[in-house]
Amino acid sequence: MTCDQAAHAIEDLSQILHSLSQQLAHGRSTIRITRRLPALRRFDIACSSCGSGNRAGARFCQRCGALLNAAPGYGAGHVQSRTLTFTVAARTDTGRVRHQNQDSVYTGVIPLPDGQQAYLCLVADGMGGAAAGEYASRLAADVSRAYLEQESTSHPPATDAAWQALLRDAVRAANRQIYDAARTDAARRGMGTTLTMALLVGDRLHIASVGDSRVYLLNTNGVTDDGAPSAQLTSDHSLVARLVDIGQLTPEQARVHPQRNILYRSIGTDPSVDVDTRSEALEPGDIVLLCSDGLVNHVSDEEIARIALGETDPDCAVMRLVSLANERGGRDNISVVMVRVSGER
């Protein structure tokens, strides 16, 4: 491990420890501290963009999101602009255990000044007692959508970097409002939410994410090392995801880990927030899928890909995914947004 990689790993762990201390300070009592400290492990693949280490088999850099190994038919560069059609389905469900649904989803058109349109999909997974989590996720959705609408109409970005900067600003506007609301209202103290957005503009997909709600890009070309038609474009900002990265947990152990809900990055818990962003090319036949952890706690990546690609109707696919999570216990709120991309190749 290089000094840079060790520094990144220690920085990640210090973020986790800071988050745990904040949660304890806010009265959380369910954090279990064990004597077993995570050992830093030598990483197998170095990212050519940022130099960070990644575990063997990873397709995308866990730090900067860059593609680690280009696969045939899945380039990271720009493609010729063309007209694509997006068919969208969304569903949010309380699940079988919780009494409230603290998830929020949104899908809708963002008008651009030249008569073009962008399409926004969003999932937010709120946390906080009473109705605070529900309020936080709804506020995150409303504030970020309104910010995007206002700015895209008056100053539409022209590049991937500019779209990503706009998404980051939208997420930060939501963070500020929720942070302020949590500080000024005792009933809402400590509330927070994840916020994951996918903005489809022409043949480009722009993503912003904080927390552990995910975006997948699925297609039949096969985009993972083992040929599975699945790629998670977002990093989970959760304790268990980092423990998987440093080899202390397997993905299967992480899925059922009692501390899987602990996030070290979320919206509304700090006055400022780091936002992950990235852009990808879209092709006819692609499926963009957003979901909250209520889905992935019960349904594997392979099952998500098989159902999403196997159904021609996105509504049916979304319904089947939510039903499967409920059949397996529905421990948490379940949200799924799916976009099927069609057009001429």
Binding-site ranges for Ca ion (CB under 5 A): 125, 292-293, 332
Please say which residue, 203 or 293, places its beta carbon nearer to Ca ion. 293
Please say which residue, 125 or 236, places its beta carbon nearer to Ca ion. 125
Please say which residue, 63 or 214, places its beta carbon nearer to Ca ion. 214
CB of 170 to Ca ion, least distance (A): 22
CB of 318 to Ca ion, least distance (A): 17
> Residue 227: helix, strand or coil by DSSP?
coil
Rounded to the nearest 10 degrees, the angle between the axes of helix 132-154 and helix 160-184 is: 140
CB of 125 to Ca ion, least distance (A): 4
Please say which residue, 156 or 192, places its beta carbon nearer to Ca ion. 192
Alpha carbons 214 and 288: distance in angstroms, whole number = 10
Helix (H) or strand (E) run with residue 192 in it:
strand 192-193
Torsion angle defined by CA atoms of residues 178, 184, 186 and 191, in that order, rounded to the nearest 10 degrees: 10
CB of 127 to Ca ion, least distance (A): 8
Do 151 and 169 form a contact (C-beta atoms < 8 A)? Answer: yes
CB of 164 to Ca ion, least distance (A): 25
Residue for token digits 């216990």?
Answer: 329
Residue type for position 31: I
Please say which residue, 277 or 333, places its beta carbon nearer to Ca ion. 333
C-alpha closest to that of 19 among 200, 283, 241 = 241
Alpha carbons 251 and 214: distance in angstroms, whole number = 15
